[in-house]
Structure 1
C-alpha cells in the first residue's frame, strides 16, 4: 500500500472515530501532496511524499519554537499534536550510531576528503536518510568528519 493510500485510509478511520485533530492534520498533508502533484503534473512516489511530510514536520517544529518563545503554549501544543500525527506516516528514525555509520560509509563511497566535498556527501546521503534524520544535524556531523 502506498503512503498516499495509507493517508487516505487513515483519514477515513479518523472520520469514523470523529478524531477532528487527526483528521485535520491528515487533510493538510493530503492537500500539500495534491498541491505538488497539480504543480508538477505528475503523481508523487513514496519518497517524494516522505519529503513533503518531512518538510511539514520541520515547519511545525519551527512554529513550536516561535510559539514557545512568545509564551503561546496553547498554539505550540496544537503544532506538537500535528507533528505526532505526521510522524506516524514517516519511517522509523535512525539512531545516532546508524547515522554515524551511514555518514562514514557515504564519505568513503564518494571519496570525500575536504569540506569542498560536502555537497557530494549531502547529495548521496539525502536519498538514504530522507525523513529518518534531521538534515541540519547531519550537516554538522559531516563537517566534523571532513575537517
Structure 2
C-alpha cells in the first residue's frame, strides 16, 4: 500500500477523534475515490503514491471549480465549504511550482527538444509533464509552453 494512502487513513482516524467534521468528511471522500479507482477496470489493483497524487490533484481541481460555480450562483456558504475541502486535500499534495520555477523547467525542455513554434508543443509537453507531475496544473503548464513557443 502507498505511504500516502496510509497517511490519509491515519489522519482520518485523528480527525474523527478530534471531531473535525470538514477534515473527516473530506478524507472519507478521498479514500472512497481511491477505493473506487482501485476497483475500476477488470482487475483489482493498488494505487501507488504517484497515482494517489494524480487523484488528489483531480479532486482538488473539482473543489476549486465547484467553489467558483457556487460563488457565481450566489451561494457563498457552499463555495466556502468547497474551498475548505480543497484546502484539506492540498495538505497532501506536493508544493506547487512558482511561476519562475515553471518557466525555467519549460525553457529547459524547449532547449532539450529543440521545439519551435506551436507545432512543438506536444514534444515539450511530453518532456516536461513527468518532471512536473502534480506540482502544477496542466492548464498552467500548457499556457506557459504556448507563451514561450510563441515568443
Q: Please classify the TM superposition score into its range, dividing by the shorter chain length.
A: over 0.9
Partner of 1:142: 145
Task: Give the Cα–Cα distance (whole angstroms) in 2 for the partners of residues 123 and 57 of structure 1.
Answer: 23
Task: Give the Cα–Cα distance (whole angstroms) in 2 for the partners of residues 87 and 119 of structure 1.
Answer: 28
Runs of 4+ deviating beyond 6 Å: none
Greater displacement, 82-91 / 108-117 = 108-117
Partner of 2:69: 66
Q: Which runs of 5+ in 2 are unaligned?
A: none
Task: Give the Cα–Cα distance (whole angstroms) in 1 for the partners of residues 59 and 110 of structure 2.
Answer: 29
Task: Give the Cα–Cα distance (whole angstroms) in 2 for the partners of residues 46 and 54 of structure 1.
Answer: 12
Partner of 1:116: 119
The Cα shift of 1:130 comes to 2.2
Does 1:9 find its partner at 2:10?
yes
- SS of equivalent to 2:116: coil
Once superposed, what is the RMSD of the aligned Cα atoms? 1.3
Partner of 1:24: 25
Partner of 1:50: 53
Task: Give the Cα–Cα distance (whole angstroms) in 2 for the partners of residues 63 and 99 of structure 1.
Answer: 26
The Cα shift of 1:98 comes to 0.7
The Cα shift of 1:28 comes to 0.7
Partner of 2:82: 79
Partner of 1:100: 103
Partner of 1:128: 131
How many residues of Structure 1 are paired with residues of Structure 2 in the alignment? 147
TM-score (norm 1): 0.94
Cα deviation 1:5-50 (Å, max 9, x = unaligned)? 1101111110111111101101111111111111142211111111
Task: Give the Cα–Cα distance (whole angstroms) in 2 for the partners of residues 141 and 123 of structure 1.
Answer: 14
Q: Which runs of 5+ in 1 are unaligned?
A: none
